[in-house]
Structure 1
Amino acid sequence: MLLILPLTIIALLISDASATPTPQSQGISINLRRRVHSRSVDDWGVWAKNHREGLMAKYGGRTGASKRSSGTNLYVPPSINLTKIVLILFLAPSQLERPPVSYDVILDTGSSDLWVAGNTCTSGCSSVPTFDSSASSSFADKGTAFNIVYGHGEAGGTLASETVQMAGFSVSNQVFAVCDQVSSDLLTSPVSGLLGLAWQSIAASGATPFAQTLASGTSWDSPVMAFQLTRFLNQSKTQELQAGGSFTMGFVNTTLYTGDIDFIDMPATNSYWLLPITGLHTVIYYEYGLSLFKAITVQGNSVTVPSGPSSYAAIDTGTTLVAGPPDQIASIYAQIPDSQPGTGNLEGFYLYPCATSVTVTFSFGGKTWAVSPADFQSREVSPGTCLGAFFTLTTSEGTPAWILGDTFLKNVYSVFRFNPPSVGFAQLSDYSLSMNGNVELEAPSATIGSVSVFATAGSVHANSNSAVSLRMPSLLFTIVMTIWAGLAI
């Protein structure tokens, strides 16, 4: 049963920064791949607990940390009788240095920093490719400490600048971190780091993110990036690497969606990719009673969502499930007969009869988008009883109340637009849907293309989060690391 999608790409740092910027505009599409590993079902409750507590850490919950991490995709083949769950990590080819060498990094719309493990790394990097700064003439060490914490661990090192290339786009003077301390099993080969795709205001480094630089200049035909994610359910023939969908920069791929893209402007200062969960217009709703425009429905019944910041949702490719305020999550499960709150490791989650087909819809002031019953059903935890993919989360002031991860995103073509700042969704095309469960599709391999478009990164600005270590309690950290080791990216 597929639950999430952490996406990865490979960014390429090259040493020749002397090329003259060109006015050429274009868009690039990157095919994604997914990697599969298994673990025992006994770990499921601990995984669920850690996923919830890790998300609290990422979005400023009770642990006080505010940075994000990758998530995990889970899949249950029918041939193993629910005795194993399989982690699926989406990977996309990308590229750092001269001669070019490929590096896998997690692609994450819920964070804003780029970092890779360096060849001087002394912990957590022994099994992954590392970056050698001595091989590049354009590398510049800034001598500033960098620390960041994610739900599954933390990374620390030093800020530097370099020319970063991905899929033909090149950004000079890009600030990134070379890490020499990484939590055990935060990185598992071939993943060497992380590329955040959110806004500069939440970057721990204070640097302008790679994608934001490209979107703000003339490198892209259109200031957008988009995701299409595949789904693999009950497929016993799934390979270790499978086609995972696509990531596009600078344009939208019209073969992957149908109809119009419904864009909604972001309601707050650029930070996370935020949308308000709300009906189209309350006047229309109250005057005409149009159920189509209810903010959230479960089995066709409306769930009340407060207006303003309490309705804000982060659209996050790096999160597995869907998290929301306790009262609203309780209202969702109240519409599902015989559902009940979980206990122990499943505290904050809910259980319900597996035979019940649950459909949840979201509106963001425009069209309504459904989460399929297959995505809502996370896992059978006992005969006839399943775990729901929606769980409770209490975030701190100034962070979004809802986190919509891949449980939602697998059901739409998602577009992140830098100007005007907005997020759009469209219905997946028949071509996109045909990729779901298609084990015959080969996973793409990493390739190093030529650079055709150049840009220069903005300067680092003062940031209160810069070079600050956000640490989780020891017990939580130990649990997260144990489960992540079992999942193995």
Structure 2
Amino acid sequence: MATSSNYTSLVARAPTPIALPLRIFGQDVSYISQIAIGASGKKFNVLADSGSAEFWVLSEESEQLGSHNGIGPKSSSTFHVDDENDKWGTEYEDEATVTGFIADDKLTIGGVSLDAMPFGVAETITGVLVQAFEDGIMGFAPSVHAVTNSPTPIEAFAEKSLIPARISGWRLSRLADGGRGGEVMLGGTNAAKFDASTLIEVANVDTTDHFWQVGVSTVKIDDQTVVPTALKATMDTGASDIRANPAVVEALLAKIPGEEEEEGGDFVLPCDTQSKLAFTIGGKEWNVDPRDLALDAGLDDNMCLSHISGDPDLAEDEIVLGATFLKNVYLSLNLDTNKIGLAEPK
């Protein structure tokens, strides 16, 4: 007896990186991505933050919800809490705090979904978070010390083979250039966003497993070496400026013509400064566009707030490189190799 059969070949589709657009809020102050949480795919605007490992959004029951989106059982039938009395909270470097509890729910990023993703549900927020645009924060730092005791979204997606690797690639756009093209890629890097011939990779020098840090051998202003000793620089997409110990900041700003210190301790610069700031990382000088050094805050006499600020909590060998620096590079963070990549952006 003759038979005929139709055979269907099922080939597992290899995971591909997820390109997530980054939207600018304010004058290059925050870089926001949109994700979805819950069975109905409720949208949340979250700060994409390489400087922390916490992932949280506001509770739908928070008294501080205002115009923000919140999550909870009213919003999602798949929202799950083991014990709402098991409190969670975290504090950021700027002393802003978040308190609430831990839940899990379906998380969707760029159309790719993961069930039962743990995250913090914020009932109370303080500090700069109260006036912030975002509904929460999505961290990209190593999760070893995350207060939620859970993987970050990029780690969780890689663990479930939803993306090919625990790598994130960052292109921060600039409002002065139209504000378009900002992106964080989960699972790889976007070759269309950087000049591959300029790419360097350096080891993460952080010994605490908290941050992404590189070694900076020199810092220059207008080709003059201002900081000749080595620094540890934290790559922080959640920070808008460059922060360092006040002694380091004073040494840097003293080399910028027209710099002044205000009564409250803030520094101001001419809005049209042409001074060139450069950091030597991995044997290569990385320049900061002069437009990124000054923030127009409506001051008189063509003066702007300095985007280089002092932080007494930082040691003299520490510096935080936020958007002021990161707009000038393509950044890759590789959890699999514990390496950081920098390249000239396109």
TM-score normalised over the length of structure 2: 0.84
Unaligned 5+ runs, structure 2: 1-11
Task: Give the corresponding residue for 2:88.
Answer: 146
Distance 1:341 1:138 in 2: 50
Q: Does 1:300 align with 2:223?
A: yes
Residues 105 and 193 in structure 1, CA contact (< 8 A), matched pair in contact too: yes
Residue deviations 1:423-460, cap 9 Å, x none?
Answer: 1111112xxxxxxxxxxxxxxxxxxxxxxxxxxxxxxx
Q: Does 1:271 align with 2:213?
A: no
Structure 1 position 29, deviation (Å): 0.8
Distance 2:301 2:132 in 1: 36
Task: Give the corresponding residue for 1:32.
Answer: 22
Q: Does 1:212 align with 2:150?
A: no
Distance 1:202 1:170 in 2: 25
Structure 1 position 215, deviation (Å): 4.1
Distance 1:338 1:187 in 2: 34
Structure 1 position 259, deviation (Å): 2.8
Residue deviations 1:288-334, cap 9 Å, x none?
Answer: xxxxxxx2111001123434xxx111111111110112232222223
Residue deviations 1:137-177, cap 9 Å, x none?
Answer: 46232442012234374322111233423124444443212
Structure 1 residues 373 and 208: CA distance shift in structure 2, 3 A: same
Distance 1:423 1:94 in 2: 25
Residues 30 and 239 in structure 2, CA contact (< 8 A), matched pair in contact too: no
Q: Which amino acid aligns with 2:184?
A: F
Task: Give the corresponding residue for 1:51.
Answer: none
User: How do residues 17-56 of structure 1 correspond to structure 2 at under 5 angstroms?
Assistant: 24-35=14-25
Structure 1 residues 361 and 181: CA distance shift in structure 2, 3 A: same
Structure 1 residues 188 and 396: CA distance shift in structure 2, 3 A: closer
Q: Which amino acid aligns with 1:381?
A: L
User: Which protein is richer in strand relative to its size?
Assistant: 2
Task: Give the corresponding residue for 1:74.
Answer: 27
Task: Give the corresponding residue for 1:401.
Answer: 318
User: How do residues 117-132 of structure 1 correspond to structure 2 at under 5 angstroms?
Assistant: 117-121=58-62, 123-132=63-72
Q: Which amino acid aligns with 1:422?
A: K
Distance 2:43 2:303 in 1: 44
Structure 1 residues 184 and 388: CA distance shift in structure 2, 3 A: closer
Residue 34 of structure 2 aligns to a residue whose secondary structure is: coil
User: How do residues 100-179 of structure 1 correspond to structure 2 at under 5 angstroms?
Assistant: 100-121=41-62, 123-133=63-73, 135-137=76-78, 139-143=80-84, 144-150=86-92, 151=94, 153-179=96-122
Residues 36 and 109 in structure 2, CA contact (< 8 A), matched pair in contact too: yes
Of residues 169, 172, 175, the one that matches 1:226 is: 169
Q: Does 1:315 align with 2:258?
A: no
Residue deviations 1:339-374, cap 9 Å, x none?
Answer: 343321xx1x43344554110111123321100111
Identity of aligned residues (%): 20
RMSD of aligned Cα (Å): 2.9
Residues 73 and 79 in structure 2, CA contact (< 8 A), matched pair in contact too: no
Residues 296 and 362 in structure 1, CA contact (< 8 A), matched pair in contact too: yes
Structure 1 residues 189 and 354: CA distance shift in structure 2, 3 A: closer
Q: Does 1:369 align with 2:281?
A: no
Stretch of structure 1 that moved more, 375-384 or 411-420: 375-384
Q: Which amino acid aligns with 1:331?
A: A
Residue 201 of structure 1 aligns to a residue whose secondary structure is: helix
Residue deviations 1:259-294, cap 9 Å, x none?
Answer: 33211111133211111112xxxxxxxxxxxxxxxx
Residue 95 of structure 1 aligns to a residue whose secondary structure is: strand
User: How do residues 80-479 of structure 1 correspond to structure 2 at under 5 angstroms?
Assistant: 89-121=30-62, 123-133=63-73, 135-137=76-78, 139-143=80-84, 144-150=86-92, 151=94, 153-183=96-126, 186=129, 191-215=134-158, 218-233=161-176, 243=180, 245-260=182-197, 261-269=199-207, 270-278=209-217, 295-307=218-230, 311-344=231-264, 347=265, 349-354=266-271, 356-379=273-296, 381-395=299-313, 401-429=318-346
Residues 264 and 366 in structure 1, CA contact (< 8 A), matched pair in contact too: no
Residues 79 and 105 in structure 2, CA contact (< 8 A), matched pair in contact too: yes
Structure 1 residues 31 and 352: CA distance shift in structure 2, 3 A: closer
Distance 1:164 1:313 in 2: 32
Structure 1 position 229, deviation (Å): 1.9
Structure 1 position 383, deviation (Å): 0.9
